[in-house]
Chain A
Amino acid sequence: MSLPADVVEWFTTAEHWRGDFGVPHRLTEHAVMSGAAVLAAVLIALPVGVWLGHRGRGGALAINLANVGRALPSLAILALAQQVFGLSGWPGFGARPAFVALVALAVPPLVTNAYVGMRGVDHDVVEAARGMGMTGRELLWRVELPIALPLIMAGLRTAAVQVVATATLAAVTAWGGLGRFIVDGFGQQDNAQIVAGALLVALLALVTELVLGRVQRAVVSQGLRAESAGVAEAPAVVTA
């Protein structure tokens, strides 16, 4: 039988949609783990990046963090986290090392983009806001953050897509998620399972990117929108 037919058969086999090894359970595992990791990373990274950018300090650190993050192979971080945090899991929540590794990978792009976004706020705009009598807090919340938002959101997209991708690799280090289908497929030389798993993972990543793109468009101020099309994407690659 041909591969496409095998894959269709895999997807239409009821057994693959039931229980702890079925698609719904693996997908939920993957999504919950990724969502929790991104949320934790946001809570850690955004205050740091925004504060550094607001105060104009720690630029070298904030900028280089993303480069360091890029140089660290995600497989290495997963494996090292597994050694440090063991195989123990929190009940009903997958493996701790995978979670720690995912958070660690998501933090650098978030910090760097928040910092660059905050630093990119036009100095004249800040002066004008001060001249209008805004306090430091008002300036931060009503001027700097809204202007920095396109880049912060771009960082969130980068981080989220990377987390979804790395959660797939976590199957190699004995965690679940959709990567299980690929890794087990390799082990069993079952091409249909490999391709089915890969399609599910690719789909989840693309949906993540598209949804966050929509969110970005929804939350970014209209006045910045024309600019943000280019700004949100380009500097993340050009300058970092």
Chain B
Amino acid sequence: MADPWVRWDWVRDHGDDILAATRQHVELSLLAVAIGLLLSVPLGLAARRWRGLEAPILGLTGALFTIPSLALFALLVPFTGLSRTTAEIGLVGYTLLILVRNIVAGLDGVPPEVRDAAHGMGYRPLGQLLRVELPLALPVIVAGIRIATVTTIGLVTVTGLIGQGGLGAFIIEGINRDFRTPLVVGSVCSVALAVLADLGLAGATRLLSPWARRR
């Protein structure tokens, strides 16, 4: 029980490892949210355009979201191995429900008068979507991106169990060696990353939607 929570000499000796793990953590998270967004935008638009598709799309992404992360990774390992691909498939899968739901909710939140006005001004459907509806839906969509990003950063630690994991590798090292320092370093850095990402995206929303700033 003499093990202190943080042994600073270990932290000093592992500065490079911590940086490398943090970078890997950021890469895994960014890639997952980016791919998730690329998939969610068409899914969200489809769910909104053909209302019959909304229930199956939300149902499927919801079921995916419900499957515990370790189980999802475990189901993929026999096919894609202990690889980055396995990690990314799982991580992307978890972003879908959050992103699709908020894209649909954001677009639904555009007032009908605005839509009518845009139509009356001669916007074609695509132009109306890109230049009127999406910008107005942006705050809710970015709220989804924030939640997806924070969730993903937390989940990346679990991919440490399949040999990826960025900062999660430290947490697992701490568990396996019953050694508190890497455990605390991995946990604190992961939380710090999540908070920074959330604040950064919150700032970006304010910049991107100046009309919503009065709050």
The interface of chain A, by Cβ under 8 A from chain B, is 3, 67, 70-76, 79-80, 82-83, 161, 164-166, 168-169, 172-173, 179, 182-183, 185-186, 191, 194-195, 197-199, 201-202, 205-206, 209, 233-234, 237-240
**Interface of chain A: mostly helix, strand, loop or mixed:** helix
Alpha-carbon gap, A197 to B98, bound state (A): 26
Chain B min CB distance to A59 (Å): 14
Query: In whole angstroms, how far apart are the Cα atoms of A185 and B75 in the complex?
Result: 12
Instruction: Answer whether A237 and B71 are a contact pair too, CB < 8 Å, given A76-B157, A209-B66.
Output: no
Residues of A within 8 A of B150 (CB): 67, 70-71
> B178-210 CB contact bits vs A (8 Å, 1 = yes)?
001001101100110011001000000000000
Query: A70, A74, A169, A206: which contacts B66 (Cβ < 8 A)?
Result: A206
Report the separation of the CA atoms of residues A70 and B184 in the bound assembly, to the nearest whole angstrom. 17
Give the residues in chain A near B155, CB-CB below 8 Å: 73
Q: Give, as a whole number of angstroms, the nearest-CB distance from B75 to chain A.
A: 5
The contact size tier of chain B is 35 or more
Cα A74 to Cα B70 in complex, Å, equals 11
Asked if A70 and B78 sit within 8 Å, CB to CB, the answer is no
Contact of A205 with B171 in the complex, beta carbons under 8 Å: no
Bitwise interface map of B from 157 to 174 toward A, beta carbon under 8 Å scored 1, else 0: 110111000001001101
What would 10 more interface pairs be, CB under 8 Å, given A70-B147, A76-B187, A202-B75?
Answer: A67-B198, A70-B154, A73-B191, A75-B160, A76-B171, A169-B68, A197-B74, A198-B71, A199-B75, A205-B66
